[in-house]
Each structure stands twice: as C-alpha cells, then as structure tokens.
Structure 1
Amino acid sequence: MLRQSLVLFGLLVLAGCTQVPNEKIDERDPLQSFNRSMYDFNMDVLDAYVLRPVAVGYVAVTPTPVRRSIVNFTGNISAPTDVINATLQGKAGNAGVSLARFLVNSTVGILGLFDVATSLGLNIIDEDFGQTLGVWGIGDGAYLMIPGMGPTTARNLTGDVVDRFVLPKMALTTPQTVLVFALEAVETRASLIPQESLLNESLDPYIFMKDIYFQRQLYELYDGNPPVEKEPEDFDEDFLESL
C-alpha cells in the first residue's frame, strides 16, 4: 500500500512539474511549478482556514505553562530518536547527552512535562534521520512542498517518515504517534505567528521560505557551524528554529 501511494505521489509530481514560463530555474527546485501550487494550497487553504485558526485558538485558551509542558513532553518523546540518529552519525557525545536528557526528564521531569535536564546543563541536541542521511553523504534531492507539511527535500522527507512513524513505533501505538504529531504541528504553527510579517513582507514569500529552509538544513547538518561566509541579514533565528 505504501509503495502504491509513493508511485501515485510520483505521478502527481510529474504531472505538475512543467515550469512557469520565464521563471528562473533553481537547480535545488526542479519541480518549482508544482511546488508553488502546493505552497499556494497550503497557505491559502490549509493554513488560512485550518492551521492558523486552530493555532490562534490554541494560543488563546492554553496557558503558557501548559504550552511549555506540551513542548517538553513531545520533545522528550523524540529524545530516543535523537539518541539513535546521533549514534548512526558517530556522535557518541551527543547520543549520551540525549540519552541522559531522556532519563532525567522521564523521571524527575515527570514523563517529560518539565525540562529538568536543561537546568542541569543537558541541552537539547536535535538529530534526525535526514541529517543522518546527509552525514552519510546523501544529497538533498529535489526540494518539495508537501500538502499539509510544508517545505522539505527528498532526503528529509525520507528522514521524516523514519523519525515520525518508523522509530516511534518501537514504543508508541499508531494513535499515540498521530497525537504527538498533531500536538507538534499545532505548537509549531503557533510559534510562527509572531514571525508572519517576515514572510508576508518579503518580495516572494515562496522563495523566502525556500531559502530560509535550506539555510536551516545546512545549519543543522553542520551542528550550527555551516561552511558559509555570511548568513542572510533578513531572517529571524526564531523563524529558523521553528521550521
């Protein structure tokens, strides 16, 4: 069934990959016409009528301490994934920190509702399977705008499937996995509300989001020390962290 779905998705991508006339081709984004259509759908339909209203309502009715606990809880659940990916990347130190965070927050932090580990100097180190594939030498592949998910690349889409659905199944049921995914999605969208002006005021929001996405991926792949001379001056660090 999964294979058939991927084939269908591939056919849809091919059907929409005709380039817009006179539009500059970005080698990272060979499916730009399709991606722009999906971007418009995400922003003008899904975000405008579903995600943003839910996020606004969530912020309005959820006290800040509760939101913080939700973030802590979902982050703690993903800590074992960080451990596995850090190990696969050969980063024994990062794997140890993530494991210690999980043990401390799962016990003293009451199932991860409180981030006690950070106060002990055990800071969050995000490691995902997309980064693991990058460390192994696998390129980004085509840039993709996925309905309901937003920007990604062929490599990171594969990594997201492994991180969100394959590895969690070792400990979580499917409903629990879906619940965690939904909580993360709502909180991520809520955290972006203060940054909306950056996107809305850009000359081309689609290009702006794509460039920011690639900057963030490079930042994560090199653990905060990407081999670039200068970062864009008009991005917001909180916006990057939320992608």
Structure 2
Amino acid sequence: MSLFTKSLSKTSFLTLCLGSSIGLYSSAAVSEVESDPWEGVNRITYGFNKGVDLVVLRPLAKGYEFVTPDPVEKGVHNFFSNLSDVGSLVNNLLQLKGDASAHDFARIMLNTTFGLGGILDVATPMGSPKSGEDFGQTLGYWGVGPGPYLVLPFLGPSSVRDGFAKIPDSYTNVWGQAVDHVPTRNTGYGLEVLDARVGLFPLEKLISGDEYSFVRDAYLQRREFSVRDGRMDTGFDASDF
C-alpha cells in the first residue's frame, strides 16, 4: 500500500465527524442493527454535540479564520500535525511496521529541524506524507473488533474500541505531556481544535440525507479503511491509486 493512502487518516473528533465523509460513504455497506444498537442515546448525544458546535465552536472557528493571516494559520496547523506524528510513530512500532515507523521518524526529523519546529511541512513535498496512526488502529490491526458505534459527548463519533483507545492515545500527545504551564497548554489545545474545525468548513456541504446516519456510516467505513491500510472487504484497495 502506498504511503499516500495512510495520509488519509485523522484523529481529532472533528475530523472524524465530517472529514470521514470524503469518498467513503455507502449506507448499504453498514448494518445499522449490528453497528448501532444504541442509536437512540447516540442521536441525543449527537444532537448535543451539534448544538455545542453551532453555538460555540463554529463561530469561534469562523472568527479565528477571519482574523488569522493565512501563513500563521498554516503554521499552526503544521506545528500540531508534526506533534501528532509522534503518536503515529509509536503506533506503527506497536504494529511492528518497520518501514512505516522509519518513515514517521524521518518525517518528524525533517519537519522539526528543517521545518523550524514543525511550523513548515517540508516532509510532504519531499514525498513523505502523514501516516496518521492511532491506538484504535493498533488494536484493530491485532484483531480487536470495533464493537458498537458510540457517540461521545464533546468528542463525537467513536466506537467502544476507539473510545477506550483515546486513553493510551493521550500519553502520546506531545503537547499535553511536555507543556506543564496549564494556561499555555489549554491555549494550545484550543488552537488545535479551532484549526481542525476550520479545515472542515469546505466539507460540510458533502453531508446529505440524514446527517446522523451519514456521519455514522462514513465514520465506521473510514475506520475500517484505516485499520486495513486501505484494503476493504468490498474489493476496494486504495493502493491501486
């Protein structure tokens, strides 16, 4: 599989909520009864999250996008993206993927040194895209099934497996582990969330039909796509591209 296909993976809940809809939606591929037995509760939580987004997060992201110069906005995105590559490296090591681990390490070194601490992404233009691994994918790689679909308050679309995986993922969050000053750490978290939300504005128009079902089916298919490194049971193999 090409490294390009691995770069499609994302980890923040906002990206998973809407970004997963790109090119992977097919409602027929998901069994609603088997994958979403807690649909009633999930819909309530989804509605709550959407309300928070509409009232708080989306307006803040719009304001951030309006006042922040494009080069600064891009630098913020690159900085946190570089930090997240550490988690990808750890999870590729846990999956015993030697080549992918070496790729992640080289990417981190390139962007941290020549990219001025990750503010510039010099690795991607050099043919070294993100791999985007997380602990949920690691569990899936070793045969742990996703379990029922689960919408988490504030965190959005998930599954029993991926929800549990957020705990060990927090230990590979470089920003959270390295920054002890609480106001600075929280400011960084806020910038990261706003950056992710801004990146999803162009994707909102892709949602059609019942929004809850669309996001759920897209999320589940995207996670299967990520765990299988681009190979799907339907015969689709992203490495063909």
Q: TM-score, normalised by structure 2?
A: 0.78
Q: How does 1:92-241 map to 2 (within 5 A)?
A: 92-163=98-169, 165-168=170-173, 171-173=177-179, 175=182, 178-199=186-207, 202-229=208-235
Aligned to 2:45: 38
- Residue 25 (structure 1) shift: 5.5
- Residue 60 (structure 1) shift: 1.0
Q: 1:127-162: CA deviations, max 9, x gaps?
A: 110000001111101211112111011111122222
- Residue 220 (structure 1) shift: 1.0
Corresponding residue pairs, total: 204
2:103 touches 2:128 (CA, 8 Å); kept in 1? yes
Whole-angstrom CA distance in 1 between matches of 2:138 and 2:215: 23
Whole-angstrom CA distance in 2 between matches of 1:177 and 1:153: 27
What RMSD over aligned residues (CA atoms) do the two structures have, in Å? Answer: 2.1
Amino acid at match of 1:51: L
2:171 touches 2:177 (CA, 8 Å); kept in 1? no
Does the C-alpha gap of structure 1 residues 179 and 142 become closer, same or farther in structure 2, counting only changes over 3 Å? farther
Q: TM-score, normalised by structure 1?
A: 0.77
Whole-angstrom CA distance in 2 between matches of 1:93 and 1:181: 31
Aligned to 2:59: 53
2:86 touches 2:108 (CA, 8 Å); kept in 1? yes
- Residue 110 (structure 1) shift: 0.6
Identity of aligned residues (%): 37
Does the C-alpha gap of structure 1 residues 194 and 168 become closer, same or farther in structure 2, counting only changes over 3 Å? closer
SS state at 1:122 partner = coil
1:27 aligns with 2:34: yes
1:85 aligns with 2:91: yes
Does the C-alpha gap of structure 1 residues 52 and 225 become closer, same or farther in structure 2, counting only changes over 3 Å? same
Whole-angstrom CA distance in 2 between matches of 1:137 and 1:97: 24
SS state at 2:157 partner = strand
Higher relative contact order (CA 8 A, sep 6+): 2
2:38 touches 2:149 (CA, 8 Å); kept in 1? yes
- Residue 26 (structure 1) shift: 2.1
Amino acid at match of 2:117: L
Structure 2 alignment gaps of length 5 or more:
1-30
